[in-house]
Chain A
């Protein structure tokens, strides 16, 4: 049976090409793999091979022809002795691959999240509370989840025998043994990849990065392997894993150890991103993260580790993702922050109250999913918004919230949203400069005065 040989597409972008040279003539017998012709594409001259054996019946496009469209019939191949003269000589392009149907207008907002504010209590009224540091809360969260699920294990540098570089994993090796509390060599790219593979294999790894600065070495595994595989597999291959560790500036450790990665990770579909402030949130959100079937980035802060908060004295509680907390109610302005940014927001609110300005402070707690509803409802009430974070100003979380409010609350805003962020400089070492590089309470107070026209 005669088959048509079509002008091939030899690159992802090729639409037409030059049939530079025929290496066979009519009547030649060819085998699969024999070079039929040389074709010039937009990038290179390529050899075009036969995919089947047969006899060249007719050559329809002579060599030297330029602008031959992809899928044009350029020759006819058939079996020996076959009459191929009846085959049409006209070389018109065969129907190409189906073009995607016109897509209906895509929703403008990238995140199809219904903004409904859930401000129910995180735990029942009247729950007894105890005092705990963030450090202890994080350890208890891991220990509780490890007790109920044998597939949960902790891996990282110095998490075992050293008891954690920041003592977050204190006591875990003693309780769970070396099989589940695993000291790694200093090899972030490698152990992050091994942990992601273990999650593909059905385990629930917790990877501790000594700091998130070092996770830069592993970022390909976090983004390309952990975050994208569920989608690329059409839903078959989940990656239940938690990457956790201190994030952002500590004190006097210089540019390479002082970066806030909140905006980086929040950018990625497929990741969930958490940045708690209080010990109760740290515990409830980390337990939620360990149970979540998706990759979770859990951003802690070294300066907050030793800070004490009230934590519910319950055998088990979790805090859902995507639920912000109104940390302080107010009417005149909305302050939106998360993680250590909350220290500046809360200090500023206290000072502003003394000056007669009532600030509502929202702790986002999770950055992906983000609780748009709570922010929107608050701004519709206060008509003013200031965001606070330690990260760099360009493409910050505050920028995103500003854009969201401009699209969804434009008519409610009485002033432009101001983003208080870290400065657009690498972190300096000198104490005075470092202080200047971070966001300050004074800046938050000044921003609020600006948006309230005081």
Chain B
């Protein structure tokens, strides 16, 4: 069967799309800014030794989750890798609970036992936070399987990176997801570097989403620095899955400004490359300009949002410092569920 050809990917030009109202535009600005300020604060707390281990920041990629969450409905599920703070904030999880997990405190989403890479919220249908590259892909298809089994019309967003896209289990999952028409949106967050290895140094495939064609899966490439384009593509993908047509792949081209993790000196790319993305393609600045030039918000309006976000993040940081470490008997709990 021929690959289902997608609608051409959006151009990413800064033009207000009809799928977004001024209010929603402000919401996007607010949500993306929350992620960025949260992550900057997390980086700061890491530097102070309050956060340990691995800490992978989402700075630069904010438009991906914010745009896709705008295409989701109540009850839809999401699952991702270890670069997960943005996903949690975007689906409505509490910044305090996320930050307190980063500092390993009892007030964290996993009572301090999971850490940066392992957080969950059944209430918000967020299924983690997974530390093994690519493992969340079959898990996400399994979540979609559970919804199809029950006969509801929910969709699961399964996020993974360009690095995970070379794992074998991704293709095992593609095969079964299409075979069984599972309602799963595979979101490849292509930030162009798998730790220190660029996409060009890891594959000769000209694009990652087109690999789905080998399994009969439809998909498209999306400009991940344009939140409007992401929402637009997300809506297309969700409608496709909800209609029972099976999985859909979105390869979202994005960019992470920071290193792979906090201890990454990032010598595999030039400072100029990062600077150029920050200055010319920044997703938050893009929305900010849309709001200002469209007359939807004044500088003062945006300053008020900035202040509101700063307060939320500072409050989260304070909470994450004040929340106590888990009691020592927590070592022995949650190993088994009560039979």
Contact = CB atoms under 8 A, between A and B. Distances in A.
Contacts of B135: 193, 220-221, 224-225
B114 A234 contact: yes
Given A11-B263, A33-B278, A103-B328, A203 B149 contact: yes
Interface stretch (B2-10, B43-51, B235-243, B247-255): B43-51
B168 to A, nearest CB: 7
A27 B138 CA distance: 53
Interface string A275-293: 0000000000000000111
Interface string B149-186: 10000000000000000001100110110010000000
A236 B336 contact: no
Chain A interface secondary structure, helix, strand, loop or mixed?
loop
Given A33-B257, A232-B118, A189 B336 contact: no
A71 B48 contact: yes
Contact of A193 (B131, B169, B336): B169
B127 A41 contact: no
B62 to A, nearest CB: 14
Contact of A187 (B111, B145, B172, B328): B172
A43 interface: yes
A436 B211 CA distance: 49
A200 B141 CA distance: 11
A357 interface: no
B334 interface: yes
Contacts of A49: 43
Nearest to A238: B337
A201 B132 contact: no
B335 A51 contact: no
A189 B141 CA distance: 13
A367 to B, nearest CB: 15
Given A43-B263, A184-B176, A190-B176, A12 B325 contact: no
A353 interface: no
Nearest to B149: A203
A104 B138 CA distance: 41
Contacts, number: 207
Given A235-B111, A235-B333, A190 B49 contact: no
B263 A194 contact: no
In this complex, the member of B137, B139, B140, B146 whose beta carbon has the largest number of chain A beta carbons within 10 angstroms is: B139
B262 A185 contact: no
A187 B171 CA distance: 10
A193 B43 CA distance: 32
Given A103-B328, A190-B173, A197-B139, A233 B120 contact: yes
A101 to B, nearest CB: 8
A272 interface: yes
Interface in A385-435: none
B47 A8 contact: yes
Nearest to B147: A201
Contact of A190 (B121, B132, B175, B335): B175
Contacts of B333: 235
A198 B335 contact: no
A200 B128 CA distance: 11
A12 B263 contact: yes
B318 to A, nearest CB: 15
A51 B110 CA distance: 27
A287 to B, nearest CB: 12
Contacts of B262: 10-11
A8 B257 CA distance: 18
Given A190-B173, A231-B334, A200 B328 contact: no
Nearest to B111: A234
A198 B150 CA distance: 11
Contacts of A243: none
Contacts of B263: 10-12, 14, 41, 43-44, 46
Contacts of B120: 229, 232-233, 236-237
A410 B8 CA distance: 75
Contacts of A47: 265-266, 271
A9 interface: yes
A265 to B, nearest CB: 14
16 contacts: A51-B44, A185-B172, A185-B176, A193-B137, A197-B139, A197-B142, A200-B142, A201-B77, A221-B139, A225-B130, A230-B334, A232-B129, A233-B118, A234-B112, A293-B338, A321-B339
Interface of B: 40-41, 43-44, 46-50, 52-54, 77, 79, 103, 108-114, 118-122, 127-132, 135, 137-147, 149, 168-169, 172-173, 175-176, 179, 257, 262-263, 265-267, 271, 278, 325, 328, 332-339
Question: When A and B form their complex, which 3 residue pairs have the shortest distance between CB atoms, in order from nearest?
Answer: A197-B142, A193-B138, A190-B172
Given A43-B265, A224-B132, 20 more contacts: A6-B48, A8-B46, A10-B262, A14-B263, A41-B263, A44-B267, A97-B52, A189-B138, A189-B169, A190-B176, A194-B173, A197-B127, A197-B138, A197-B146, A198-B143, A225-B130, A230-B335, A232-B129, A235-B333, A272-B336
